[in-house]
Amino acid sequence: MSSTKIVFIGAGSVVFTQGLLADLFALDLGPLHISLHDIDPERLDTAAGAAAYIAAERGVTPQITAHLDRRAALEGADFVINIVQVGMNAATQIDFEIPARYGIRQTIGDTLGVGGVFRALRTFPVLRGLAADITEICPDAWLLNYTNPMVMNVWYLQALGLRKVVGLCHSVYWTIHDLSALIGVPLSEVSYLAAGVNHQAWVLRWERDGVNLYDALDAAIEADPGLRRRVRVDMYKRLGFYPTETSEHSSEYVSWYLQHASEVERLRLPVGDYLGIIEENLTAYEKTRDALKTGQPLTVEGTMEYAPQVIHSIVTGTPRTIYGNVPNTGLISNLPAGAVVEVPCLVDGLGVQPTAVGALPAQLAALNKSYLNVAELVVRAAIEEDPRSIRQAVMADPATAAALPVEKIWELCNELVDAHSNYLEPPLRALLK
């Protein structure tokens, strides 16, 4: 029996790699070949050591190989999991520090806004190389993308001609998990439907035995004034549907919150929150590295992430529904065709099969369209090698437009282009007036 080969691109994101491996090794997938790739030798070595440790703990014996050469890692791949973070912590700090000097507040900065735009632009060259390698070396492999900004990255990969690609994110699952816990209903008894765009999808239906659970949520919010001091709850009460990403994320995609000090205080928004998260991730990596060096045990738990489930369904033919980020081929009728949307997808031996949802409520589609306008311009900047499209994308971004006049937006973009120029494609490095 031939083994299933799963390649991790950016395996040096060791903590996330560990969680995915813990999930994979808990599934009945038959013989496995885990191929790890990273450009950082120390992180790659740590990832390989962690993989071997988790396999031993789970009582499985996969083949584990580690590669500094991406093409060697991809040879014979069935699945490719992309978790790269180009520029790591130093680039992320730039994405926060330069905009902050212009008065722009960000919390996470990985999806939209100036942080999301420049995170995409420095990731695209890596994705272009990865797509070319997959097309040549393992054209039948599924690319499972976790790297943010999800919509821009998957849209760009599709524009490059890669077809067996799906973006995976846990936000829908954990939103339903946490909402159900809030009202005291077991998740196993809940049915739900969500759709929209990544990090700004919406809970369209949420039921138990045919009963709408939004009524119970309304009661919980009424009983707890603290809940009303959250962006997601504020958006739900005004829009009628609950958004599927955290308040920190959700605040960045609209013009109403972060650029107003009173709203930052009212809704307890942690400006710059992601800078603390990346420091925590670095500490977690160092603990894993040091534990492996000294023979100390690792604490590794499952993640409930979708990638292992997708792989299991395709390999074994076991049908299940996950939420995926895929091109809009009539899936959401009032969002642009070809844009990347987040919808339920059936996964089985035939692969990932998106479900048509129909039209979103108009107020939700309006916000999603605004989000997609920015994403489309960023992808266009890369495909058409047009540096003006970078500035136009940031001009179209709701939160940035709420904070800065256009001349300052162009100045800000010039500073960020200059700061990230070593990661950008040469035509996009131009400084414009």
In angstroms, what CA-CA distances link 224 with 59, 90, 187, 228, 239?
46, 40, 22, 7, 20
CA distance 108 to 272: 7
User: Whose structure tokens read 């659970």?
Assistant: 213
> Does 169 count as an annotated binding residue?
yes
Q: By C-alpha distance, which of 315, 369, 4, 301 is closest to 151?
A: 369
Evaluated on CA atoms 198, 199, 203, 207, the torsion sign reads positive
Distance CA 32, CA 217 (A): 43
- In contact, 323 and 194? CB cutoff 8 Å: yes
Q: Checking phi first, is residue 431 left (phi over 0); if not, alpha (psi -120 to 50) or beta? A: beta
Q: What is the DSSP letter of 252?
A: G
Q: Are strands 351-354 and 200-208 parallel, antiparallel or unpaired?
A: unpaired
| Pairing outcome for strands 340-348 and 351-354 | antiparallel
- How far are the Cα atoms of 11, 104, 125, 431 from residue 418, in angstroms, in the given order? 28, 18, 16, 8
Catalytic residue among 33, 37, 67, 170: 170
Q: Respond yes or no: is residue 33 known to be catalytic.
A: no
**Residue 328 marked in a binding site:** no
How many CB atoms lie under 10 A from the CB of residue 8? 29
Is 148 assigned to a binding site? Answer: yes
DSSP states of 364-400 as a string?
A: HHHHHHHHHHHHHHHHHHHHTT-HHHHHHHHHH-HHH
Residue ranges of the binding site:
148, 169, 199
Residue numbers annotated as active site: 170
Residue ranges of the binding site for substrate:
148
Residue ranges of the binding site for Mn(2+):
169, 199
